[in-house]
């Protein structure tokens, strides 16, 4: 298995986790033997093109091998939660946009799709290269090339910031550049967080709506209070704090304390479910505090 892992690493392949089962082969004898002999190995380029790719087992009928299916991911009808993108802060048009609805509209209509922008810059550079080949290389051409290169560098930096934020690689310093590494790390997090099946009250749920409903039902029952006898604490001794310490607990936080606490947090993280990151709060502190 070690040699196999070394082979995968040396060829820069990705061994996808297997869903719905742990093994793909059994001998069918007594005693029974299980093993995982079958798998899909994908390249980094494939994973970049299909970030939601996964492999799962089908029903075994006659063969001693379990059929595998490679799912490249489909279109989801679910609403994705809002997540503030730290790369937005590099845009000159960002200032003053602090509402989720306004940010979503601005991202779609003004900021735009980075991949489309990058492809457009590639096309402009290719056009300039063709003009270079036929000898049309004047001062204006050099100026346009420098402008295109500057735009491309800014887009590449924004992509780096976005994928670094998605990768949650907190041990890296801001400015470290390795987009492919960030991309693969983010995809790994996405696969690990995906719940393909769940067992509720002895029954396995597979469909997306069933899994979602099973999770909601479990926690509803877990946090539903049932009426009954409760123990009392009368007569039990407890430690207590002094009146001075009690008063200090209720002292309002100073703005300097809040800002210092925020500054010590990782900038790619969000404090709550609203999706706004620490970097947004630090960059827009004067507006937030108002």
- Give yes or no: residues 185 and 205 share one domain: no
**Given pLDDT bands bounded at 50, 70 and 90, which one contains residue 181?**
low
- Give yes or no: residues 25 and 109 share one domain: no
Helices (H) and strands (E) in the chain, counts: 11, 9
Residue 217 domain-assigned (yes or no):
yes
Residue 68 domain-assigned (yes or no):
yes
Report the alpha-carbon distance of residue 98 to residue 26 in Å, rounded: 57
Q: In what order do the strands lie in the sheet with 54-57?
A: 18-19, 54-57, 68-71
Mean pLDDT, residues 214-236 taken together? 82
The pLDDT of residue 249 is above 50: yes
Lowest mean pLDDT among 49-53, 73-77, 93-97, 186-190: 73-77
- Give yes or no: residues 189 and 220 share one domain: no
- Give yes or no: residues 91 and 150 share one domain: yes
**Given pLDDT bands bounded at 50, 70 and 90, which one contains residue 171?**
very low
Q: 262-269, long-range: CB within 8 Å, 24+ apart, which pairs?
A: 266/170, 267/86, 267/174, 268/86, 268/164, 268/165, 268/168, 268/170, 269/170
- Give yes or no: residues 181 and 218 share one domain: no
- Give yes or no: residues 202 and 191 share one domain: no
- Give yes or no: residues 143 and 211 share one domain: no
Which comes out higher in pLDDT, residue 164 or 264?
Answer: 264
- Give yes or no: residues 167 and 124 share one domain: yes
**SS3 of 132, please?**
helix
- Give yes or no: residues 99 and 189 share one domain: yes
Give tens-digit pLDDT for 117-159: 888 888 888 888 777 766 666 677 778 888 888 888 888 888 7
- Give yes or no: residues 188 and 172 share one domain: yes
Helix ranges (DSSP H) in 44-113: 44-49, 100-106
Give tens-digit pLDDT for 58-89: 877 778 888 898 888 655 555 667 777 878 87
Residue 164 burial (C-beta neighbours within 10 Å; 0-12, 13-18, 19+): buried
Residue 54's domain comprises 2-75
How many structural domains is the chain composed of?
3
pLDDT given at position 288: 67
pTM for the predicted model, two decimal places: 0.42
């Amino acid at each position: 298995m070690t040699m196999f892992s070394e082979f995968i690493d040396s060829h820069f392949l990705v061994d996808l986790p297997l869903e719905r089962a742990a093994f793909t082969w059994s001998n069918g004898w007594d005693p029974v033997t299980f093993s995982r002999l079958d798998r899909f190995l994908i390249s980094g380029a494939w994973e970049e093109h299909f970030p939601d790719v996964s492999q799962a087992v089908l029903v075994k009928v006659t063969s001693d091998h379990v059929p595998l299916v490679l799912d490249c991911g489909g279109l989801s009808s679910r609403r994705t939660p809002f997540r503030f993108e730290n790369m937005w802060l590099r845009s000159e048009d960002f200032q003053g946009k602090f509402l989720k609805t306004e940010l979503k509209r601005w991202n779609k209509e003004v900021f735009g799709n980075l991949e489309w922008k990058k492809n457009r810059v590639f096309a402009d550079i290719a056009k300039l290269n063709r003009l270079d080949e036929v000898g049309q290389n004047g001062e204006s051409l050099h100026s346009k090339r420098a402008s295109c290169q500057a735009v491309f560098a800014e887009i590449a930096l924004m992509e780096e910031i976005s994928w670094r934020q998605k990768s949650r690689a907190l041990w890296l310093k801001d400015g470290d550049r390795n987009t492919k590494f960030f991309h693969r790390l983010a995809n790994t997090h996405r696969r690990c967080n995906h719940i393909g099946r769940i067992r509720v009250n002895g029954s396995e749920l597979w469909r997306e709506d069933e899994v979602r409903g099973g999770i909601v039902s479990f926690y509803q029952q877990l946090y539903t209070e049932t009426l009954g006898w409760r123990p009392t604490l009368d007569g039990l001794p407890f430690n207590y704090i002094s009146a001075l310490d009690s008063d200090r607990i209720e002292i309002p936080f100073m703005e300097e304390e809040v800002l210092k606490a925020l500054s010590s947090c990782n900038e790619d993280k969000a404090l709550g479910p609203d999706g706004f990151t620490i970097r947004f709060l630090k960059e827009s502190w004067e507006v937030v505090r108002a």
